[in-house]
Amino acid sequence: MDLRFTADEIAFRDEVRAFLAENLDPKLRDKLATGSYPDKDDLVSWSRILNRKGWGVAHWPVEFGGTGWDPMKQYIFLEETQKWPAPQPLAFGANMVGPVIYTFGSQAQKDHYLPRIANLDDWWCQGFSEPGAGSDLASLKTRAIRDGDHYIVNGQKTWTTLAQHADWIFCLVRTNTDAKKQEGISFLLIDMKTPGIEVRPIITMDGGREVNEVFLTDVRVPVENLVGEENKGWDYAKFLLGNERTNIARIGWSKQRIARIRQLAAQEMSSGRPLIEDERFREKLASIEIDLKALELTQLRVVAADAKRGNTGRPDPASSILKIKGSEIQQATTHLLMEVMGPYALPYLDHDHDGRNEPFDGPEYAADAAPHYFNYRKVSIYGGSNEIQKNIIAKAVLGL
Amino acid sequence: MDFDLTEEQSLIKDQLDRLLSDRYGFEDRRKYMASPEGFSTDMWARYAEMGLMALPFAEEFGGIGGGPDETMLVMESMGRVLALEPYFTTVVLGGGFLRNCGSQAQQQALIPIIADGSSKWAFAQQERGGRYNLAHVATSATESGGHWRISGQKSLVLHGDSADFLIVTARTAGNTTDEAGVGVFVVPATAKGVTLRGYPTQDGMRAAEISFDNVEAAHVLGDPANGMPLVRRVVDEAIAALSAEAVGAMGAMHALTVEYLKVRKQFGVPIGQFQVLQHKAVDMFIATEQMRSITMFATMMAGSDDTSERARAMHAAKVELGRGGKLAGENAIQLHGGVGMTAEYAVSHYFKRITMMNTLFGDGDFHMRKLAAMGGLFENAA
């Protein structure tokens, strides 16, 4: 057992850091460091810089444009980019539909879509959830009926993240209503420009537009946009939701948040001294750090086990806790950061339509703290709520 | 980065686990506990035969040349069966002092009798009123004619009543809680002036209250004027080892609980089908895996010469042991229902052990306060 990085891994880490220092606009880095999201242009331009370097979809197999890094290097890359912080690749393409296409798609689909995902030429969004199909995803109702060379799709998707920017949506649709609910689902790729698609914003409690409703009315989708076999979509969806073990805990992100908490708590004064010197505050911070340190080691155990197996076999049972614990820690950091702001978490900063801000009553760095705390309640809900995760662990790991 | 065991480590672990699964069932443990020593002298001899006592010592002193990793493996396996033998006090604590600060001659004289299993050791540190402050030492040591003589009272000396040798902290200068002026001494338990009263502890182990009346020490380890850095180092190593024992105990407790959920039927179904119970069992699983992870971190840091970073790691491990152990232990009892309350059934014994482990070398609150005062875990590096 040797829990230190090897010389090779350290050299690689330094290479990643040097690349980030040289290539990422410091203004964008600063923006992300405050907790703000990259906008579409930020993400597209950064994705292209990464792709030119050959790191656009680093974790993919080499034949589809990946790097061939072992799981440990992939982990180091993620951690370094999150800690920096740099924008993370758009998950819907790079982590979700991309792997589905290169695993189950046709040659034509691979040839067409994969390079465009790597370069973020196509912005993808995810059409899984529906108003009546959340945790019970397989009960989805969006219907696709074959009509010659097309499917006619009717239905409604919801919680569709960043659909307002999207060129494409990958959808789970029902192609057989007679079969068991999991066995009548297909996986379709739909061009967002197709007539009959309407995107309506859902404004979340933080005031942001991150998610949307997507209405599909008589949308004609060419049959060649079916991935894999008809009625096998549930298998592909399970693959999609289950193949993410390296990034789900977002260790690097939480580390960056903790660094931010430390930085701002050193500035904020409480009873005449910096908040960071307050014993109660320090204990709360240390408590999160202990959790995070333990989870980091849990993550590394999973990564090391993946590396050993060549990332093919059954995942280490410990991988199942990454989502639950990782989301809890992310939420804890957003809460503590809000507490750092004290009363100045209160004012709401209204972003006007030209992107200019109204004056803010308080230190400007305080403006995002409460919205982020509110927004991050999502992480224990999306991707299979933490309660669903516990059901899965109870069944798959504990055998209950 | 490499989480694999070496071939030798796997061999040791497999051999020990086999031995324990053959001879350390719950009923066996009961018998061992009822013996005059409070543990199994036969098991002790078998551990020695396997070389467990020799693991962390250099080959020149009859050791095998292992380190914190090997100690972790052994302690985890022993934690899984709630082993009663004084391995921790003898090899980790006693051996730790000798290894870290014994002179060449002292190591030559004393390590071989640990490594071959022929002696048992205990650490006489705690004093009434000292709570978790290791530097609280009122027991005095005075030198005359090249001999150190010790007088004072020690309590909660784990396995003190079976020890052949005691490692005793005693003050050579300064006031009761001064960091400086504490020496570390080796005293044979049979030395004139040692009075010892052994008693059982809540978790089925043994401890002793010991008084020293002008007792001549056989050895002084390191600098008698400045022994606290040594004490802190050995206690840090001990915390890593204790964490590993906790991983074993939590894992076993969790396995027992999951098994019970599968066999116990109520309302016509195994109670493990009830989601509310499943989620508690998952919470226990998470706590156990997080404890395992932080123990690896503590084990990695146990040998570090950076006293501050090493201390941070141990504080973190002890906090996690406190909160994770409590969560796992209380849920284990709750999920067993009435059966969990009984002395007849193993799970309560795990609960008692993990509960008491929290009190050894500082509880979770104590270590949280220490870690916070140092600036937290990620102060220097994230």
| List of residues 6+ apart from B136 with CB closer than 8 A | B127, B129, B130, B176, B177
DSSP string across A326-344:
HHHHHHHHHHHHHHHTGGG
Q: Six-digit token pair at A288?
A: 């999160």
Q: Are residues A132 and A260 in the same domain?
A: no
Report pLDDT for B376: 95
Task: Look up residue B174 and give its DSSP letter.
Answer: S
Under the banding of pLDDT at 50, 70 and 90, the label for residue A314 is low
Q: Are residues A298 and A388 in the same domain?
A: yes
Q: Are residues A260 and A346 in the same domain?
A: yes
Q: Are residues A223 and A272 in the same domain?
A: no
Q: Are residues A268 and A375 in the same domain?
A: yes
- Homologous superfamily in CATH for domain B7-119: Acyl-CoA dehydrogenase/oxidase, N-terminal domain (1.10.540.10)
pLDDT digits (tens, 9 = 90+) for A227-276: 999 999 999 999 998 776 667 899 999 999 999 999 999 999 999 999 99
Q: Is residue A255 part of a domain?
A: yes
* Lowest mean pLDDT segment, chosen from B171-175, B297-301, B377-381: B377-381
Could you tell me which residues of chain B have a Cβ less than 8 Å from any Cβ in chain A?
A: 1-6, 9, 69, 258, 261-262, 272-273, 275, 278-279, 281-283, 285-286, 289-294, 296-297, 299-300, 316, 319-320, 368-369, 371-373, 375-379, 382
Query: Does position B91 have pLDDT exceeding 50, yes or no?
Result: yes
When the pLDDT of each residue in chain A is averaged and rounded to a whole number, the result is 93
Single out the residue in A38, A63, A89 at which a domain terminates. Answer: A89
Among residues of chain A, what percentage have pLDDT more than 90? 83
When the pLDDT of each residue in chain B is averaged and rounded to a whole number, the result is 97
Q: pTM score, two decimals?
A: 0.95
Q: Is residue A66 part of a domain?
A: yes
Report pLDDT for A12: 97
Q: Is residue A110 part of a domain?
A: no
Query: Does position B341 have pLDDT exceeding 50, yes or no?
Result: yes
Q: Is residue A103 part of a domain?
A: no
H helix runs in chain A, sequence order: 7-23, 26-33, 40-53, 71-83, 91, 98-104, 107-118, 233-242, 251-267, 279-309, 321-340, 369-375, 386-396
Q: Is residue A253 part of a domain?
A: yes
Q: Are residues A311 and A388 in the same domain?
A: yes
CATH number of B229-374: 1.20.140.10
Q: Are residues A280 and A370 in the same domain?
A: yes
Rounded CA-CA distance B326/B324 in Å is 5
Domain that holds residue A282: 245-396
Collect all residues of chain B within an 8 Å Cβ-Cβ radius of residue A261.
none
Among residues of chain B, what percentage have pLDDT more than 90? 98
Q: Are residues A251 and A392 in the same domain?
A: yes
Q: Is residue A293 part of a domain?
A: yes
Report pLDDT for B382: 45
Q: Do A390 and B282 touch (CB under 8 A)?
A: yes
Domain map (residue ranges) of chain B: 7-119, 122-225, 229-374
- Whether A266 has its CB under 8 Å from any CB of chain B: the answer is no
Rounded CA-CA distance A334/A325 in Å is 14
List, as ranges, residues 20-49 from A with C-beta within 8 Å of B: none
Q: Is residue A113 part of a domain?
A: no
Q: Are residues A226 and A258 in the same domain?
A: no
Give the fold, CATH level 3, of B122-225. Butyryl-CoA Dehydrogenase, subunit A; domain 2 (2.40.110)
List, as ranges, residues 78-137 from A with C-beta within 8 Å of B: 83
CB atoms within 10 A of CB B122: 29
- As a whole number, mean pLDDT of residues B84-102 equals 97
Collect all residues of chain B within an 8 Å Cβ-Cβ radius of residue A4.
1, 300
Q: Measured over all CA atoms, what is the biggest interatomic distance in chain B, rounded to whole angstroms?
A: 79
Q: Do B320 and A290 touch (CB under 8 A)?
A: yes
CB pairs under 8 A between A and B: 141
Q: Are residues A171 and A202 in the same domain?
A: yes
Q: Is residue A94 part of a domain?
A: no
Counting the structural domains of chain A, the total is: 3
- As a whole number, mean pLDDT of residues A185-208 equals 97
Domain containing A145 — which CATH number? Answer: 2.40.110.10
Asked if A126 and A168 touch (Cβ cutoff 8 Å), the reply is no
Q: Are residues A19 and A81 in the same domain?
A: yes
